[in-house]
Amino acid sequence: GENVGLHLPTLSVQEGDNSIINCAYSNSASDYFIWYKQESGKGPQFIIDIRSNMDKRQGQRVTVLLNKTVKHLSLQIAATQPGDSAVYFCAENRGRNYQLIWGAGTKLIIKP
């Protein structure tokens, strides 16, 4: 798997600032993308998703941007709070195999 043996990159952000977490995907045929949040010792929770016919989608305090030209996905979290501390995973669906392909994850640390 793509994420085997990798240790998580870390992003440190000041409380109240905006966070931007990035993810690159490799397959231009992927048509569905999801961001998950995983708190320590828990299962991942769905945050937001986007389909390949969209460039941007907004949720509550979160925005996902999709750039198909460079195969890049980002998650923006506005006014970061201590409760946002977690590992964030992107996942892509390549359609045919009915499975999600997971990114390596990014650990978000909030500085007080």
Partner 1 sequence: DGGITQSPKYLFRKEGQNVTLSCEQNLNHDAMYWYRQDPGQGLRLIYYSQIVNDFQKGDIAEGYSVSREKKESFPLTVTSAQKNPTAFYLCASSPYPNSGNTIYFGEGSWLTVV
Query: Do the beta carbons of residue 86 and residue 77 sit within 8 Å?
Result: no
- Strand intervals (E) in 1-112: 10-14, 19-24, 32-38, 45-51, 56-58, 62-67, 72-77, 86-93, 100-102, 106-111
* CA distance linking residue 104 with residue 73, whole number of Å: 13
Helix runs in the chain, H state only: none
Q: Which is nearer to partner 1, 40 or 69 (CB)?
A: 40
In the complex, the residues that contact partner 1 under the rule CB under 8 A are 1, 3-8, 31-32, 34, 41-46, 49, 51, 89, 93-96, 98-100, 102-105
Give me the least distance between CB of 47 and partner 1, in Å please.
10
What's the chain's length in residues?
112
Token couple for 29 = 């045929």
Q: Which is nearer to partner 1, 18 or 27 (CB)?
A: 27
Q: Which is nearer to partner 1, 6 or 20 (CB)?
A: 6
Q: Which is nearer to partner 1, 7 or 60 (CB)?
A: 7
